[in-house]
Amino acid sequence: MKKELERFSSYTIIDLDNLEHNVGVIKKKLSGAKILAVVKADGYNHGAGIIAEKMYRCGVRHFAVANIDEAIKLRSCIGTEGMILVLGPALPSRYNDAVKYNISLTVDSTATLNSLLSHLSGTENIIKIHVALNTGMNRIGFVCEKDGLTDELSQVAQVISDCKNLVPQGIFSHLCDAENEDTQFTKMQYEKFENTVKCLEKAGLSFELRHICNSAGTLLHKNFHLDLVRCGIALYGCEFKDSGLLPIMSFKTHIGHINKVKRGDIIGYGKTYTAQKDMRVATITAGYADGFNRLLSNKGEVLIRGKRAPIVGRVCMDLTMVDISDIPDAELFDEVTIIGKDGNETITAEDIARLCDTISYEIICGIGRRVNRIYVEHGEIIE
């Protein structure tokens, strides 16, 4: 396999066996709930189609995306069965696509509900909906009270119950602080959600699928699992150390040039690095256009021949310089690991995120489209 990868300047390896492992780890934590796999942003930049198809083979039947375009592409990958939910607002011009491709839509406000009703009026078309509740994150959804229904939700319950064109398939909210050791806010969100669902049922509106847990909620709050758990980042093996989950993406490039730099010489744009000694410097064939974050300038590392090579100077658009003075056997065209394992050393997306003062989500989603995606299953590259 290594020989086949030598033709790529920069590439990611997506390990589908690790994905299957992660699905299994999450399933073992559930008692009755099903996985709602979040594959928005092209499967967190892993390739939604192949990722979803693999999870479908692992028994996952519920998927979530951000918009209609993502949903349509996904439908062609998993066939006619399985639920696809658009978590974000859908434009009225795309409602017909929801009907055509059997896509479930989110209803998060009275305005959205009225828009759907207007579009469906006088037709036999049916759209499945999930009602979004705002339990404290204040992003989308109908505002919930601790006790009873708001006047708005009482009216919404009546309208949906009376409409033959809408199928109330699900209801959900989103935990915004589930990873916090202080669980008070998360418990408050869950209690608001549960109370509102029960009140809606008393008002005559019930739902087949209830879901509030994101990845953190799934792994840390088993009592809140309900019917579905919305797993995103956990499926891709990021963020949850010691959880048994495995990263499914590694990010590789190569040495494109080796240079000897004398003490006192500068390296890179802006003269931000001055050699404190005679150095051996490798220029690797990845830069910020590939998703190798510029914030790593003068502080990040890569792995070459199982050893760490510090970044020296600013990360450029297409190239980056690293110090290989302590790796005397490093040669031109050697493989370079940006994210992943080499020998006994590992660099994770979380490691890079900490250096960039961000989260692993942004690191993996930021890997550029010109970086080849290589999918591996059972140790073999698949096309």
Q: Under a CB-based contact definition with an 8 Å cutoff, are residues 172 and 190 in contact?
A: no
Across the strands, what pairs with 142? 133
Q: Which residues contact 91 (CB under 8 A, 6 or more apart)?
A: 68
Q: Check if 128 is active-site.
A: no
Strand 166-172 with 380-382, pairing: unpaired
CA distance 342 to 345: 5
How far is it between the farthest Cα atoms of the chain?
79
**Of residues 146, 198, 269, 277, which has the active-site annotation?**
269
CA distance 89 to 108: 8
The residue written with tokens 């559930």 in the block is 30
CA distance 62 to 59: 9
Q: Under a CB-based contact definition with an 8 Å cutoff, are residues 145 and 192 in contact?
A: yes
**Of residues 34, 40, 128, 192, which has the active-site annotation?**
40
Strand 372-377 with 11-15, pairing: parallel
Cβ neighbours, 10 Å, residue 5: 16
CA distance 303 to 39: 29
Q: Check if 56 is active-site.
A: no
Give me the active site residues, please: 40, 269
